[in-house]
Structure 1
C-alpha cells in the first residue's frame, strides 16, 4: 500500500472519529473557515491577456530585464501591482539569464504549452490564527486544468519574508503546470510597510491607503504616540515581519495548514455537489486529494512545520528545498562530512548564526584566499571598511592577530570552526554581506522573536529611505506606490534601508555609518555587536550574562526562538529535502543536515525522510546570472522540481523514493557555455555507495 493511500485512510479514520451520530448519517458540507476575515476576492484569468503564473507576461516577459510599468506611477492599479509583483518575485528566485537553464530545464514554457500562460481562478483573503489579531494573507490558484476526479494540491508559503506571490516561481509554477490547486500564504510577513509620517499602508491588493480600513499592517501606535515618534524620528517605516509584535514564525506551520483548509473551501465552492438550501457537499476533501507541502527557504521551513503539526491528515507528503528549519537541539547525535571534524555544535538557531555572520563576515571578507577571489567582493565590500571592522573586533578582543590579514583570517576561522559554517560557503558569504542579508535578517528576527515594536528601535536601528550620503530622507512617492510589488518584505528593500540611529553625527545608512565608540566607518559595528549580544544572551567581549532590560529582552528573544524550533517528528509522512552544500544564508550544519539527524532520532525506522545534498549549489539561484558566480554554481531550482516530481510519483504511483545522497553536479566553468544535461545529473534511484548519506551510530554521515 503506498503512502498516499495510507494517508487517505488515516484522514478518513480521523474524520470518522470526530463525527457525531448526526454527522454519521449526514455527509459533511462545505463551510467557510472561521479563521477567514472579510470577503474572499475572486478573479478569473483567461490565459491570453493575463494568467495565474506569469500575469500575462509569458516566459519571455519574465525573462525580460525591463519590468512592466504603470499607467499612473503614483496610483498603480491592483492588476498592475499584481503583474509587477509576479515579475519581481519570480525573478528574485529563478535565474532567467540565458545559458543558466531557464527555458531548457525550468521555466513556464518547459513542460507546459506556448509561452507558459495558465488560465484559471485566483482567490485571495485575509485570515488569522487563534490568539492573534495580526492578519495573514492567503491565496488559492485553481488552474483550468485542475481535474476534480483526480484532485491534487500543493502548498506555496512564501520564501523569505516575501508577500503572497513569493512562491509563484517555485511551488506555484510546478503545481500549476501539474494541474494542481496551489495554496499560498505570506506567513504574516510580506511587504506590510507602514509609513509612520503619512500613515499610509498597503491594502490586500497592494494599493495604498491612509484610511481606517483593513490593510496588510499598521504599527500599534495611536495618533499621539505616532506623532511623538515622528517628531523624534521622522520619515521612518514600520515593517510587518519586524514590528507586528507577533513572532509570525511561531505560527508558520499553522498558516500553511489553514491555507490547505482554504484550498478545500474554494475548491468545493467550485466543484462541490450542490444540495440546495445553500448547502454544498464537500466532494473534494483530504480523503481523495493528494496534498504535497512544499516551497523553498522560509516557505520550505513553514511546510515542514505544517507537516509536524498536521494531526488531521491534511498533508500526504513533503517536498522542500533549502528549508529554513530550526531543529530542536539534540546533543545525542553528531554530523561528519567525509573524514572532516565531528560536529557536535549543530542546530544553532537562525538568529545565533546570522548575528555571528553580521558581526564577523565584514572582516572575514578581507581574509587571504577570500579577499581577491570571492565573486563581487571588491564591488560590494570596500577593503577600508573591512579593515575598520577587523580593527573594531580586535579592540574588543573578539579576534586575534596583528593587521587586517591576520584578524580577517581569525574572523573566518571563528565562522568556519566555532560556528560550523561550511568552507564551501566562504566564497558567497561576502556578496551576501555586501547585500546586507545577514544584517537585515538579524535586525528583523531579533525584533520578531522579542515581539518588539517600531518604537523600541532595537539596538538603535530603524527603517527609512536614505540619500546618496546615507542620511534619512522621505521615500520617493513613486517608489512607495510600488512597494507591494517591489519589496521582498525585509529591508533593505525597494528603497527602504537599515538606518543606524546612534551613528556618529546623525542617523545614517547602516552600511555607511560610523560607530560612536570607534570613530571609524565600520558598517555600524556597535549596532551589530548589540544584536549579537541579544542573540547570545551575554556580552560578546566578557561572556558575562546580560543585565537589566537587556537581559529581559534577550530572554524574550530566546523564548521566541524556542517557539519556532522544529520537533523532527513528521508523523511518518514521506518527505524529501534538497539543499545546496554552498548555501551561505542558511548554513547546512544548522538546518537540513541536523533536521535529517533529528528526524532519524525521533522517528527511527518509521522515518520517511530522504535528504539530497547538491554540490555546487547555493541558496539564491538568481545570483547565478552574475559573472564569477555563474561559472561556479548550478541551479538548485532544477533539483527542487525533481524533488517534487519524485514525491508526486511516490504518492500517486507508489514509486520508491531514492535513498539520501550527495548529487555531484558539474559547473559550467564558462559564461559562454550553457548548462547541459551533463552538468545536472539526476537524483539517482540507486546511487553509488560512495554517494550515500547515512544515519548510523547516532551520526549523520555525509560523503565529501
Structure 2
C-alpha cells in the first residue's frame, strides 16, 4: 500500500482553511523536490512523496497517514513478522530516488532489528515479535497492525524545534480503556527508534504511542553538497529546505565553504553538531510528545464527543537506553502530572552523585565511586579497552577482533600502564577498568563492543554534544565522513546518502559515514586504522576534555582545551538526574553484563539516589537480570548467543506489570535479581526455562534492598 490519508478526517479536524494550508505545504515540498531534482549535481536524490497529505501548514507541520493493516501497517511497514525477521533488507524501486514510504519501511526494518535479536533461536517469534500477542500467545500471524500515523516537528513556547514527534493510533484503540505509551527513541536514532520496544508493546495493547527522536535523530547534513533530510527522510538542498529541514548545521555559507576546502566530504549529525546539547531537553521532549498524543486523540475522536486527558487516560513513559533515560527525566520534570507510571530498560540516566550511599554486590566491598556521568566512563573505556581486549582472560570473548598490542605499548609509553610486556599490559588494563567500577561480568562483552566501535563513537558524539561544539571545530581532530577501503576520506556514494534516513542510527559508523582522524600521519584517515595504536591521542584528548585536565600527565589543559572542557562540564551539569520521581511508580530493568551503561554508574546508582531522595516513599522497583547485556541485537552472533539471554523479555514483563498495576491495582514485585540460564554450548533454541519471570514474591536472598545507606545487590 502506498502512503494515503483520510481527507474527510482532515477536513473535520482542520476545516476548509486548514485544508488549503495543507495543500500549500505539499506544494512547498513539491517545489523542494523539483529544485533539488533539477540540479545536475544532485539528480539522484529527487524527493518522491506518494499520496501523502499534510494536515496543516508548515508552521503546524502534521502529516497523517492511515495504514490498512493488510498491505502496510504501523508496526512492520507491511513487512510482517517474516519480513522483519529476514536478514534480507527491503529494497527500493529506484535506490537513488527512494520514496517516503520506502524510507519509512527501511527505517522500521533497521530500527526494529537493531534493538532485538531477530533470530528464532534467540526468542524472536516465541518470546517477542509481531506474531506474539499482547498476552504472550504465539500465533502464526504476521502481526500487521492497522491505524493512523501522525508526524510533526515539535513546537513549544519558544517556537518550532528540530525534534521530530510521531503518534501512532492503532485501530484497536479503545476510548473506554484509553492509554498512551511514551516511546522516545533509543540511542541517537530517528523517530522510529523505539518501534521494537515501547512501540510494539503499546500498539499490541491498543494504546496510542507517542514517539520523539528527542533531538538526536537521523539528521545528516552533507556539508560538501549542502543537502539535508526532510521530516520523512527525503534529501533536499539545505537552502531550499529551510525550516523544513530535519537538521541543518548552524554555520554560515562562508564558513561551510572554508570547512569543505580544508576538510572535504564531511557530514554534520544532529546529535553531535546541533550545538543545542539536546540531552538537556529529553525529559521535556517526552512530555511534549505525550501532549501531542492527547491532541491527536482529541482531534481524531473529538467529533464523537470524546475527550482524553490525564484523568481518563493511562500514560506510561517507557523505552530503553537513551529513551529510557529520557522517560526517567520526564518523570522527574512532570509538573503537570501527565505520567502515571514509568517502565524502562537499561536507562541512560546520569544520577547526581551523593556520598550518602554505597553499592555492595554479594560479599564484595562497598563501592563508593558510583554515579559517574556517561562522558566520564565512556571516555575512560575508550582509552583502555583496545588494550584490555588483548588480555588472556578475554581471548575467547565474542567478536574480539580488534585487540591492540600497540595501544598497550603506547599506554605504557605515556605512563598509564606500568607493566612492560604486552600480555601483562593487557591484563593490567583490564584490572584498571574493573577497579574503576566496571563489573567483571562486562569483561567478556566489551571486546566485541570495541570491535563494533561503540565507545569510540559515543565518546566523540557526546563530547561534541555536551560541549555544544560546532562541526567546524573538528573536536579532538575528529570529524564525520565516508572513507574508502584504505580509510581515506571520500564522498559518500549516491545510494547510501539517498537512503540514509532509513539506514542510519545517528552516530558513526553508520550508513557509510565513519569517524575520521584528521591528525593522522600522512593525512586524514578513518580513526580505526589511522595509527597503529588506534588513535590513542584522539581518545586521550576526549578523556582530557571529560576530566578537565591532561588525562596522561594530570597537567592543566591549554586555554582552548580548557574552554572546551568547561563547555562539556556545563553541558553535563544540565543533564544530571536529581532522583526525585515524585512517587510515580517506576520499574527499571537492566542487564548485569551491560557494557555501555555500567550498572554502578547508571541503573544501580539511580536506585540508590532515588532511595536517598524519596526514602521510604521510593516508588522505584529495580530488576537486575543476569546473563543479559545492553545490545540484544548482538545475541544473534556466535559466542553471544551461547552466553546471553534477551533482556527484551524482561522489558516486556516490566511493561505488563506496570500496566496491570495501573489498570487493575496489581502490586508491583519487589526489587530483585532475576537469575537466568544461558543457552550454552552450541546455542540451542531458547526456552522459557532460560528466562524465568520476575517473581511476585522473590526469596529474600535475591531481593535488592536499600538499608543503612547501602544498595545491596545479591550475587
TM-score scaled to structure 1, two decimals? Answer: 0.91
> Could you tell me how far apart the structure 1 residues matched to 2:683 and 2:620 are?
38
Equivalent runs, 1:476-515 vs 2, <5 Å: 476-514=493-531
| Aligned residue number for residue 11 of structure 1 | none
**Native 8 Å contact 2:230 2:241 kept in 1:** no
Give deviations 1:677-697, integer Å, cap 9, x for gaps. Answer: 111110000001110000010
| Aligned residue number for residue 390 of structure 1 | 408
Cα distance, 1:671 vs. partner?
Answer: 3.5
Give deviations 1:381-406, integer Å, cap 9, x for gaps. Answer: 1x4xx111011111110111011111
> Could you tell me how far apart the structure 2 residues matched to 1:375 and 1:62 are?
25
SS at match of 2:641: coil
Equivalent runs, 1:135-534 vs 2, <5 Å: 135-210=162-237, 211-213=240-242, 214-273=244-303, 283-370=307-394, 372-377=395-400, 380-381=401-402, 383=403, 386-417=404-435, 419-514=436-531, 521-534=532-545
| Aligned residue number for residue 643 of structure 1 | 654
Cα distance, 1:670 vs. partner?
Answer: 3.3
131-140 vs 59-68, which moves further: 131-140
**Native 8 Å contact 2:185 2:211 kept in 1:** yes
> Could you tell me how far apart the structure 2 residues matched to 1:547 and 1:462 are?
21
| Aligned residue number for residue 82 of structure 1 | 104
**Native 8 Å contact 2:388 2:427 kept in 1:** yes
> Could you tell me how far apart the structure 2 residues matched to 1:129 and 1:410 are?
51
SS at match of 1:462: strand
| Aligned residue number for residue 58 of structure 1 | 80
In the alignment, structure 1 residue 620 sits paired with structure 2 residue 637:
no
**Native 8 Å contact 1:37 1:125 kept in 2:** no
**Native 8 Å contact 2:181 2:198 kept in 1:** yes
Give the number of aligned pairs: 653
Give deviations 1:626-663, integer Å, cap 9, x for gaps. Answer: 11110000000000000000000000000000000000
SS at match of 2:630: coil
**Native 8 Å contact 1:463 1:499 kept in 2:** yes
> Could you tell me how far apart the structure 2 residues matched to 1:638 and 1:248 are?
30
> Could you tell me how far apart the structure 2 residues matched to 1:629 and 1:531 are?
30
> Could you tell me how far apart the structure 2 residues matched to 1:592 and 1:223 are?
44
> Could you tell me how far apart the structure 1 residues matched to 2:529 and 2:157 are?
42
> Could you tell me how far apart the structure 2 residues matched to 1:535 and 1:408 are?
24
SS at match of 2:643: coil
> Could you tell me how far apart the structure 1 residues matched to 2:475 and 2:660 are?
48
Give deviations 1:535-565, integer Å, cap 9, x for gaps. Answer: 0111112223324111111111011001000
Cα distance, 1:223 vs. partner?
Answer: 1.6
| Aligned residue number for residue 12 of structure 1 | none
Give deviations 1:238-292, integer Å, cap 9, x for gaps. Answer: 1110000000000000000000000000000011246xxxxxx771111100000
> Could you tell me how far apart the structure 2 residues matched to 1:250 and 1:422 are?
28
CA distance change for structure 1 residues 134 and 268 in 2, over 3 Å: closer, same or farther?
Answer: closer
2:595 to 572, 584, 608: 584
SS at match of 2:342: strand
Cα distance, 1:332 vs. partner?
Answer: 1.1
In the alignment, structure 1 residue 688 sits paired with structure 2 residue 699:
yes
CA distance change for structure 1 residues 597 and 132 in 2, over 3 Å: closer, same or farther?
Answer: farther
CA distance change for structure 1 residues 62 and 149 in 2, over 3 Å: closer, same or farther?
Answer: same
> Could you tell me how far apart the structure 2 residues matched to 1:93 and 1:487 are?
14
2:580 to 569, 585, 610: 569
In the alignment, structure 1 residue 554 sits paired with structure 2 residue 586:
no
SS at match of 1:38: coil
Give deviations 1:61-95, integer Å, cap 9, x for gaps. Answer: 10011111100111100000000100000000111
> Could you tell me how far apart the structure 2 residues matched to 1:61 and 1:307 are?
36
SS at match of 2:712: strand
SS at match of 2:199: helix
Cα distance, 1:133 vs. partner?
Answer: 6.4
SS at match of 1:229: helix
CA distance change for structure 1 residues 358 and 130 in 2, over 3 Å: closer, same or farther?
Answer: farther
| Aligned residue number for residue 697 of structure 1 | 708
| Aligned residue number for residue 110 of structure 1 | 132
> Could you tell me how far apart the structure 1 residues matched to 2:170 and 2:314 are?
16
CA distance change for structure 1 residues 672 and 392 in 2, over 3 Å: closer, same or farther?
Answer: closer
**Native 8 Å contact 1:360 1:411 kept in 2:** yes
Q: Mind listing any 5+ residue stretches in structure 2 that lack a counterpart?
A: 1-55
SS at match of 1:296: coil
> Could you tell me how far apart the structure 1 residues matched to 2:286 and 2:84 are?
27
**Native 8 Å contact 1:151 1:180 kept in 2:** yes
SS at match of 1:391: helix
669-678 vs 484-493, which moves further: 669-678
> Could you tell me how far apart the structure 1 residues matched to 2:424 and 2:159 are?
50
Cα distance, 1:576 vs. partner?
Answer: 0.4
TM-score scaled to structure 2, two decimals? Answer: 0.90
**Native 8 Å contact 1:397 1:541 kept in 2:** yes
Cα distance, 1:191 vs. partner?
Answer: 1.2
| Aligned residue number for residue 31 of structure 1 | none
Cα distance, 1:129 vs. partner?
Answer: 5.0
**Native 8 Å contact 1:200 1:208 kept in 2:** yes
SS at match of 1:342: coil
SS at match of 1:490: coil
Cα distance, 1:35 vs. partner?
Answer: 14
Q: Mind listing any 5+ residue stretches in structure 1 that lack a counterpart?
A: 1-33, 275-280, 515-520
> Could you tell me how far apart the structure 2 residues matched to 1:556 and 1:641 are?
38
SS at match of 2:528: helix
> Could you tell me how far apart the structure 1 residues matched to 2:470 and 2:254 are?
16
Cα distance, 1:222 vs. partner?
Answer: 1.9
Cα distance, 1:36 vs. partner?
Answer: 9.7
**Native 8 Å contact 1:134 1:244 kept in 2:** no
| Aligned residue number for residue 642 of structure 2 | 631
| Aligned residue number for residue 607 of structure 1 | 618
Give deviations 1:408-452, integer Å, cap 9, x for gaps. Answer: 1111111110x2000100001011111111010100000010001
**Native 8 Å contact 1:317 1:651 kept in 2:** yes
SS at match of 2:61: strand
In the alignment, structure 1 residue 99 sits paired with structure 2 residue 128:
no
> Could you tell me how far apart the structure 2 residues matched to 1:338 and 1:307 are?
31
Give deviations 1:140-193, integer Å, cap 9, x for gaps. Answer: 000000001110010000000000000000000000000000000000011100
> Could you tell me how far apart the structure 2 residues matched to 1:252 and 1:72 are?
36
| Aligned residue number for residue 5 of structure 2 | none
2:94 to 69, 72, 77: 72
